[in-house]
Amino acid sequence: MKNNDWKERLNVVYSTNPDFRYNTGETEEPETLPKEKQAFRIQLDKRNRGGKQVTLITGFVGKDADLQVLGKWLKTKCGVGGSTKDNEIIIQGDFRMKIAEILQKDGYGKVKVS
């Protein structure tokens, strides 16, 4: 039986092109790179945070679920709170050197502290 997806195609104009594929707007997440190929940039950020310091880790390439796991692991290692979103990990406080050491010991390739 053919999947009837007419509800997903509301407001679509009919096409006579036999090769037409409807774009649902969903984007595929990129595959998570191996640890050795990840390139992280660790920096201290104070902007728009009420004067509080956070350690910002950028440069992650991969699935959101893997980012969540890495963020939780780093928060546990540092013993502080934080969040993960938009391919960034935010750790409360100034933990730049500690996070760089943790990532390098765990086998992550390029870690740049600025």
112 Cα distance to chain centroid = 17
**Two tokens, residue 32:** 């998570």
Model pLDDT for residues 73-113, shown as the tens digit of each residue: 999 999 999 999 888 999 999 999 999 999 999 999 899 99
pLDDT of residue 2: 56
**Residue 1 in domain:** no
Domains identified in the chain, total number? 1
- Asked, for residue 8, whether it belongs to a domain, the answer is no
Give the burial class of 70: count Cβ atoms within 10 A of its Cβ; 0-12 exposed, 13-18 middle, 19 or more buried: buried
Give per-residue pLDDT as tens, 25-65: 777 778 888 999 999 999 999 988 888 999 999 999 999 99
pTM above 0.85, yes or no: no
**42 touches 111 (CB < 8 A):** yes
What is the pLDDT at residue 43? 96
Q: Is residue 34 part of a domain?
A: yes
The answer to whether residue 88 is domain-embedded is: yes
Looking up residue 73, the CATH number of its domain turns out to be: 3.30.780.10
**What is the tens place of the pLDDT at every residue in 3-14?**
666 666 666 666
